[in-house]
Amino acid sequence: MIETLEKSLHGAGSTPVNIVVAHALEAKALIPMLHLQPFDTTSRFVQYGNSNNLHLIVSGIGRAAMEAAITDLSQQQANEEGQIRAWLNIGIAGHSQAPLGGAWLGNKITCQVSGVSAYPPQLIAHIDSGAVITVDEPERTYPEDAAYEMEAFSFFEQATKYSTAELVQVFKIISDNLENPIEKLDFKNVPNWIGLQQEQIILLISKMSSLVGEYNDSNRIPEVYRDLCSRMHLTVNQKLQLRRLCLRYKALGLESDLESVISLAGSHSKKVISQLSAQIDRVGKQ
Amino acid sequence: MFSTIYIEEEVLETSRVKKMLDRFPQVPRVVCERYGEVFNRKSQNFRLQKKAPALILAKKYGSKVLAAPDGYGYNDSRSYYFSHMLNCVYDCRYCFLQGMYSSANYVLFVNYEDFEEAIASKIEENSGGGVYYSGYDCDSLALEPVSDFCKHFVPLFGEYPNAELEIRTKSTQIRHLLEQPVIPNCVIAMSFTSHEAGARWEHKVPSIDKRLEALQKLQLAGWRVALRFEPLILDSLGLTPYENLFAQVFAKLDAKKIHSVSSGLFRMPIDFHKRIVKLYPDEELFARPTTTADGMIALKSEDESLQLAAIEKILFSHVSPQQYYRCG
């Protein structure tokens, strides 16, 4: 099954998922695993992508770097069609006893500085989940049963400004513990530990991709909306009205009628909107 | 059954919570401070969460027994509702809960004793009377195997024979009711829509046959049962779906013994509707033309009142007008 999922990540379908890592070494394992290529951009953040819409950005370490990278990427990907992307933070973390290379999805992310917690909704089954604590300085004693790291809380808070919480997830891979303290961490092992989680990572991306795909499909605006926006001057309010009307035609199975109603209304924006409104009120009544 | 169980720190060590958790050893548990951190957070999507809802075990603070909304009840007595749970295990597309809450997770308030105290106090305030609805913010029975709701709340009304409890549900979880003595002032009100509407808009809801079977068992055991035909969503199929539904229902139940029957058209607060439209832009029901009045939205229909009257006429061939009320 995992081979099929893996193929789907670089096959014909779309995978509108952004992966955010703090360190280039974390990206190193993911690039071949996910068939990513360097992404040409003017952004100050290193990015990778594939033709299938999967994207990876290297944020740098710490909360501020993470926030900046997400803001940058979301501006780069902004669209007017209401299409969103899933966001996945993959990174290393420490835990008192968990074995190196072990991993879990964050179901509670606490900012150690503020004490505030966030709870990413857990829609994806068959992946272990656990607590994550975001710290500003590396943690050496790991007092709680949680993965200690430096970006997850900011990642979740920032990414949920551009997507819905169900589609923002944090996956932490254990790189240090009491027996293998952070001072002795050999960074060369990071790609190996991430590689060990290949199956889980692919499953996660694949499920997130399917959820975001479903969301975007239901919010897909008929093509004619974009045509009209480029053809005539529309105020912000008119664009909203037109968008809703196009979606209503689609929901009522009348998408194919849009063109003919619009062509009858001519090129005046007010007339187009009133004509579309009048027609749907006539036809939509049961 | 649940993707995750969130537990408020305050109730974590209570025996009720421990018992509930014992039922689900495999479900991941997350301790939170207050349920609102999980339930009321912004940037959540009710529709996506419905795919794998979580259970939140919490303690209810503040008012526990509230005045019922206008038009909710079946008589002029003082009416109240209480919600030991928020959200429903079923997924009915027309349901207002989708627009009311930002999360589809189920919140179960486990401080039943506080609810009981609040209900008893309200009953005493009303000289031993009043009507008390359960099932406004949830389905009262659907989570019965986990919540033991009936075991706790129904006997309380046995102590107040002049107060009435209505348990509104679409569930067939009636085992606990059948195992306890009948409380004459407790009414189990089952909701129905037509087969066609159910197939289109109700997901995970027990079939009409199963619900009728449950009602019949309750009726035979001596419980009072009621019928709620709502929301009525009128469409091009006309009256036939309702004729068929009523024929099926009244073939199974003793109409004379039915406590009450109600019907009500599809209505929803405008704000809830707006939120639901955003969640389901592809849903035909929410793309239909609508009208608004008094803060409520309704489907636009020229002959709505005529059709409703025609449906009532069919109903009156089965039950007496005295048993009937129009909701909303």
| pLDDT of A1 | 62
Residues B15-44: tens digit of each pLDDT: 999 999 999 999 999 999 999 999 999 999
- Annotate A247-282 with b (16+ C-beta within 10 A) or e (fewer): bbbbbbebeeebeebbeebeeebeebbebbbebbee
A192 neighbors A157 (Cβ within 8 angstroms): no
- Whole-number Å distance between alpha carbons of B223 and B216: 10
Q: What does the pLDDT read at residue A262?
A: 83
Residue A15 makes CB contacts below 8 A (sequence gap 6+) with A8, A9, A50, A52, A53, A54, A205, A206, A209
- Mean pLDDT, rounded, for B201-217: 98
Whether the CB of B287 is below 8 Å from some CB of chain A: the reply is yes
Over the stretch A86-98, which tens digit does the pLDDT of each residue have? Answer: 999 999 999 999 9
Q: Say what the pLDDT of residue A5 is.
A: 67
Q: How many CB atoms lie within 10 A of CB B237?
A: 12
Which residues in A lie closer than 8 A to residue B3 (C-beta atoms)?
121-123, 125
ipTM: 0.93
How do residues A238-278 score in pLDDT, each as one tens digit? 999 999 999 999 999 999 999 888 887 777 889 889 999 99
**Please, are residues B165 and B187 in contact by the beta-carbon 8 Å criterion?**
yes
B290 CB within 8 Å of a chain A CB: no
The size of the A-B interface in CB pairs under 8 A is 107
**Cα angle for residues B275, B280, B286 (degrees, 5° grid):** 80
CB contact under 8 A, B4 and A107: yes
A110, amino acid identity: T
**Residue to substitute from A123, A144, A247, interface B, most B β-carbons within 10 A:** A123
Distance CA A270, CA A232 (A): 10
Cβ distance B289 to A285 less than 8 Å, yes or no, reads yes
State which residue of chain B sits closest to A278, comparing Cα positions.
Answer: B289
Structure tokens at B81: 């509702």
C-alpha to C-alpha distances, A221 to A190, A215, A252, A268, B221, nearest whole angstrom: 42, 12, 13, 21, 54
Q: What is the pLDDT of residue A157?
A: 98
Instruction: Please indicate whether, in this complex, the C-beta atoms of B282 and A125 are within 8 angstroms of each other.
Output: no
The domains located in chain B, with CATH, are: 5-326 (3.80.30.30)
Full 3-state SS string of B76-122:
CCCEEEECCEEECCCEECCCCHHHHCCCCCEEEECCHHHHHHHHHHH
| pLDDT the model gives residue A264 | 77
Structural domains in chain A, sorted by start: 2-218 (3.40.50.1580), 223-284 (no CATH)
Which residue of chain B has the CA closest to A211?
B48
* DSSP-H helix ranges across chain B: 15-22, 36-39, 46-49, 97-100, 112-125, 144-147, 149-158, 175-179, 195-201, 208-221, 240-252, 270-279, 304-315
